[in-house]
Structure 1
């Protein structure tokens, strides 16, 4: 049950700071869930009065199936989504809004609890490629490897680029051995690192994964690091890789420290 305390001033009902913080946390959880589903939303608006608590707009080309299915959002579809959410215990006002000339689905959630319920609902019904992608992304993040460009495309998971430093970390986590000297901003060393990581990923996932060295050009080296790009993986392959990483970074004793390559 929501505990949304409020202060009343000059007849206007406003929320206090603890409630505002609760709303920010719930909005973050919902955005994370929607991103895991492949949806893209505009930044959520945090309500400053009792209701709605949180409002956000989903772009028409990235609706999670749980909300609208295939096709463009229409008023009839928005009404159906609102009714469907109500049946799941989520109180929300759902409307179609024009965002830069394109229809978007605007969802105004009544309370923090409604926002969290929607986030949980989206996460519980992720299609398998998105569920596997989320598992791999969060497992890598726990290990200190950021795969911020990971996405699902055509039923497979495009891992995308990771920094050379994170590639080094991933190699060590998977049991690979680094040479005594490696310069992560040297093209030849980056190629060697890509080859070693390719072998380690093959062993961990059971199948070949494309691994390509992607050095920064001379004009962009000041704005981005040297990277290694990981090719597409099937959902079951992503899960095997996540299992391998999780097993390697889970301490077996209080004295064991997380693996890092820095």
Structure 2
């Protein structure tokens, strides 16, 4: 069975490649714009291509049965059409859930057999607080009571790899909301990072403007879009056990993720 991983040098795609190898997948293709810099394992076939240029995908898709798709908005419809034309039998798409409904709608409309993954906030996003934690052990936060259940990129990749290597029938046309094991307020997330790195972390309520000024050097103009999600008064996220149900291993907690990435905060 030939599996193509798009975005294979990205934060999640690269982890998908590693988990596919762990699960025993033998014929893995990795789509990358620059194979010489990809540093992929020798057992993986690096294919030159870029989702932003759909015509570059034709060779990559030849003979492929399953695809991990990290949607590229501008060319998603064309990419899906090429996959269907190539005879791809199953797509696992990181569609992004509620905030990226256009991705999910396009995958559904494609007619390709598929499963979609809709994670909420990534644990990795909270590296945005690293400088504050390193320097003051205090996080300035305008929405400390907003509740989320962050999931790690590695857990998302594990789910994708299990779906790509297992029977597809139980998962066809499903959208799986992926979360961490526990819903926490943003204030509690900061505290759990402290637990993970062995340093007490406190939270100081601040204005949105103050928080944007602190985070703009890290997040750029995306900081405004990010805080818009919370200012709109979204419903508290509810944690689930989808990661464990799909992989057999529980999702990483916020404290566990922080412990594994402690150097970022010290």
Work out which of the two has the higher radius of gyration on C-alpha atoms and give 1 or 2: 1
- Bigger fraction of residues in strand: 1
The interval holding the TM-score normalised by the smaller chain is under 0.3
- Bigger fraction of residues in helix: 2
Give the TM-score of the pair, scaled to structure 1.
0.22
Higher relative contact order (CA 8 A, sep 6+): 2
Give the TM-score of the pair, scaled to structure 2.
0.22
